[in-house]
Structure 1
Amino acid sequence: MLVRVLGSAAGGGFPQWNCNCPNCDGLRRGSIRATARTQSSIAVSANGVDWLLVNASPDVLTQLRAAPALQPARAIRDSGIAAVLLMDAQIDHVTGLLMLRERSTPLPLMATPEVLSDLSDGLPLTRVLSHYCGVAPLPLALDAPQAVPGLPGVTVLALPLPSKPPPYSPFRERPRRGDNIGLLLANPQTGRRLFYAPGLGEVSDAVLATMRGCDVVLVDGTFWTEDEMIRMGLSRKAAAEMGHLPQSGAGGMIAQLDRLPSGVRKVLIHINNTNPILRDDAPERAELTAHGIEVAFDGMEIAF
C-alpha cells in the first residue's frame, strides 16, 4: 500500500500569501534553505491506479498536476480519485472539493455525520456541488473498520480526536465526537499499519496505544512551541487553543513520539509557515533528526 503526501503544510501553505515571517520572507528572497509546500493532504492506493484522496485542500489542482499517478488517462476525462475522505470540516481541508466539480458522476465523500452536517449547513459545499457533479455521501463510522467503495484492498478505521469544529460551524462552542478524527490504515497483505492525524491536540492513552501498534505514524507538526504565533505577533492563540500539540516542551510531540517502539517510522505533517523545522539547516530540524523524526514534504511517498 502506498501513501503519497500531496501537501505537507498547514493552512495557508508555505510561503503563506500574506505572511512576512522570517520563514516566508526568507523563502521568497532565497536567503534560507527551505522548500515551498502546499496545504496538507495525502492520497492512498493499494494498486497504484485507484486512489483515496484524504482531505481536499485549496491547492488540490496544483497537487494533482504534480502527481501523474493520480491521472491514469483511461478515458477522455478521467481521474484516479475513486473517493475523498475528510478528517474534519476545516476550510483548508474541504474547499478543494469545489475544484473537483467537473466529474461526470457524484463524488463519493467519506466523512463523519458531524462533518457532513457542517458541509451542508455552516459551509454548504455539498449543496453547491449538487449543481455540478454532486456528492455521494458515505457516512464514516467511528471505531469500526470500513471498506472504501471503488478501492479494493483499502480499509479505514476512524478514531475520534478531541477538537473544536471550524469557526463557521453552528457547533463551534459545542464540540461533538466526530468533529475531528485520526485515521488508521492497514495493509491486508502485510499487516503493516499507518496512523494519520494532521490535527492532534493531545496524545491520549488510546491514541498512544494505536500509534505504538503502527509501523508508520504521520502526525501533527504544526508548531514548534506552544506560544509560537503569539511571540511573532501573528495570533493571540496558543497552539493548544488551535488544537495542535507543539513539538518542543514537556509532553510535546517529540516527547510523545519518543515513547513509541524503535521500529516505528515517525513523520510530521501539517507544518505551519512559522515553524523553524521548515529550514533544512535549522537546529530544530537537527533535534528532530536526533530523535528519529522526519519532516514530510510534498511528493513524499511512504510504502507500508
Structure 2
Amino acid sequence: MADENCTEVTQFTFSGLTEHPQLKPILFALFLGTYVLTLVGNLGLIALIRVSPQLHTPMYFFLRNLSFLDICYSSTISPKMLLDLPTKNKAISFAGCLTQFYFYAVFATAEIYLLTAMAYDRYVAISKPLLYDFVMSPRICMSLVTMSYLAGLLNATVHTSALLRLSFCGPPVINNFYCDGPPLFVAASTDVRLNEGLMFVFVDFNMVTTNLLILTSYACILVAVGRMGSAAGRRKACSTCTSHLAAVIIFYVSATFNYMQPSSSNSLESKKIASIFYTIIVPMLNPMIYSLRNKEVKHALTSFIRRKMHF
C-alpha cells in the first residue's frame, strides 16, 4: 500500500534558491535582468546573422543555432524560476516536471554537440582553408546540426523514460530550482541505481566524447598555427578560436561539476550554484563573448546601424 500511495504523487515542491526575504527581490531583479539580456542578446545575434550577407558562412550558421539553443534551454528554466522566487509555495506538477527536464536535457545535450561541431569548423577553416567551402558545405553543416539535436533527443528520452519508473512519497521536495536528474534521485523513494547508472554512462559518454573531439580539433589547430609563416596570420587564427574556446570552457567546467559527482543531499547545494551558472549565466554570456571579441560581428552590426540611420 505504501508503494501505491507513493506512485500517486501529482506534484513536486522546489526548495528554491533562498528563503531569505531580503535576498528574494535582489535575486529576482538580477535574474530577470539576466534573462532579458539572454533573450535580447541571442535574438539580436540571430537577426544580425540573418540580415548580414557577410555573416552567411558556416561559422555563423553554427553560431545562429547556438543562440537558438541558448534561448530554448534558458527558457525552460528561467521563467518558472522567476515566478517561484517571490512565492513560498514553489510547486510544479509531475507532468510539468518531466516536461521541463525533457526539454532541458534536449537543449543542453544538443549544445555540447554543437560546440563540438563548431570546433571542427574552426579546425577546417584554419588547417584546410582552400578546402573549407567544400568540406563545410551546407549539407554537411545541416547534418552536424541535425546530429546535435538527435543526440539531445536520445539523451532526454532515455533519462525521462527511466524517471517514469521511480516512485515518490509525497509531498516530495526537490532541492533545486528546476527539475534535474540528481535532485530527483535524492527525492525518490525507490532504488535509483539504474537512473544514476544511466546518468553516469550517458553524461560520461557525452562529455568525454565531445571533449576528446574538441581537444583533437584544437591540437590540430595549434599544429597548423605553428606552421604559419606570418605573425599576423597566427593572430587572426587565434582570434577566431578564442571566443569559441571561452564558451566551451565556461560551459564544460560548470556542467562537469554538476553531473560528474554522485547524487547526495550534501552535494546538492554546491551543484545548485553550478546549475545557476550554466543554465542562466552562460546563455547570457555566449552572445557577448562572440560579439565583443569578433571583428566580423562588430563590423556587421556597425554596417547594419549605418544602413538604418540612412533610412
Higher relative contact order structure (alpha carbons within 8 Å, sequence separation ≥ 6): 2
TM-score (norm 2): 0.28
Indicate the structure (1 or 2) with the bigger Cα radius of gyration. 2
TM-score (norm 1): 0.28
